[in-house]
């Protein structure tokens, strides 16, 4: 069976960290929608890479002309993140966050970009300042859950996801991430039950359904390993969502994984 460390890496990469990609074909004013950390509005960004690149060029010129234009900064960074250019997005947002340290929207975008870039400890600090107890933001809470899972604090991650769902219980991706977090905690029965609920929700996309299959396979592997010791377990190789998890019946190996950069990106 795959080592505990490699299994944890595989599950962490299955977490959904951005708003679902929408099939939007045209956008009259891309920055009007891009300049936001709201996942629902982020979903309106073009899904086509060529269109995103053209948009990034246009917004980059606007940013170069006035780097203190807050909306241009947020729009440019949002497009860069969708293009998986996380280091550049961090650089753009870092300056704006220093200039406007109390701007919650800027801090939210910056924290999510840091998480995109794998700078999880920094992301945790920034995201903690991106909303207030009086005005909690489900999207920020979900991002905090993703970061906590990446840092190995699954109990805290689950608390963040649950808090996000109390604010907006319709978010299938957040519920799906909660299920994966329980899988990371090795509570596979609860993980499967939660993942099934997420897959049955209105608005659940292919990534959410694939996460359910992933957890079911994981639970099946665990059951097989405990009930039939001599048999070689199947190793689940995690793919970019929504690509189905591959299955093999070969000698256990460390799963090869590739992180999907969806946008901080759905739950986040």
Q: What is the residue-level pLDDT of the chain in tens, covering all 268 positions?
A: 455 565 666 666 667 754 333 332 222 344 444 445 555 555 556 667 888 899 899 999 999 999 999 999 999 999 999 999 999 999 999 999 999 999 999 999 999 999 999 999 999 999 999 999 999 999 999 999 999 999 999 999 999 999 999 999 999 999 999 999 999 999 999 999 999 999 999 989 999 999 999 999 998 887 776 665 544 434 333 333 333 333 333 333 333 222 332 233 444 5
Tell which residue, 123, 107, 40, 47, has the closest CA to residue 79.
Answer: 47
| Residue 46 burial (CB count, 10 A) | 23
Model's pTM, two decimal places? 0.74
CA distance 171 to 164: 9
Dihedral class, residue 187 (left if φ above 0, else alpha if ψ from -120 to 50, else beta): beta
Q: What structural domains does the chain harbor? A: 17-129 (1.25.40)
Torsion sign, CA atoms 103, 105, 108, 111: negative
């Amino acid at each position: 069976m795959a080592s505990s460390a490699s299994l944890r890496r595989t599950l962490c990469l299955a977490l959904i960290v951005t708003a679902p990609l929408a099939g939007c074909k045209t956008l009259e004013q891309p920055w009007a929608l891009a300049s936001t950390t709201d996942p629902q509005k982020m979903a309106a960004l073009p899904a086509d890479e060529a269109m995103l690149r053209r948009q990034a060029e246009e917004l980059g010129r606007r940013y170069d002309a006035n780097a203190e234009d807050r909306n241009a900064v947020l729009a440019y960074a949002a497009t860069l993140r969708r293009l998986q250019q996380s280091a550049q997005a961090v650089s753009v947002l870092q300056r704006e966050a220093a200039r406007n340290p109390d701007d919650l929207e800027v801090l939210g975008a910056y924290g999510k970009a840091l998480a995109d870039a794998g700078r999880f400890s920094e992301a945790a600090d920034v995201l903690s300042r991106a909303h207030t107890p009086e005005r909690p933001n489900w999207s920020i809470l979900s991002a905090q859950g993703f970061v906590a899972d990446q840092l190995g604090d699954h109990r805290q991650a689950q608390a963040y996801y649950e808090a996000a769902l109390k604010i907006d219980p319709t978010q299938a991706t957040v519920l799906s991430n909660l299920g994966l977090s329980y899988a990371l905690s090795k509570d596979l029965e609860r993980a499967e039950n939660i993942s099934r609920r997420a897959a049955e929700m209105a608005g659940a996309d292919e990534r959410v359904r694939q996460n359910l299959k992933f957890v079911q396979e994981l639970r099946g592997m665990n059951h097989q390993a405990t009930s039939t010791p001599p048999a070689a377990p199947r190793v689940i190789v995690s793919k970019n969502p929504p690509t189905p998890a591959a299955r093999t019946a070969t000698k256990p190996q460390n799963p090869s994984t590739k992180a999907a950069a969806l946008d901080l990106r759905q739950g986040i």
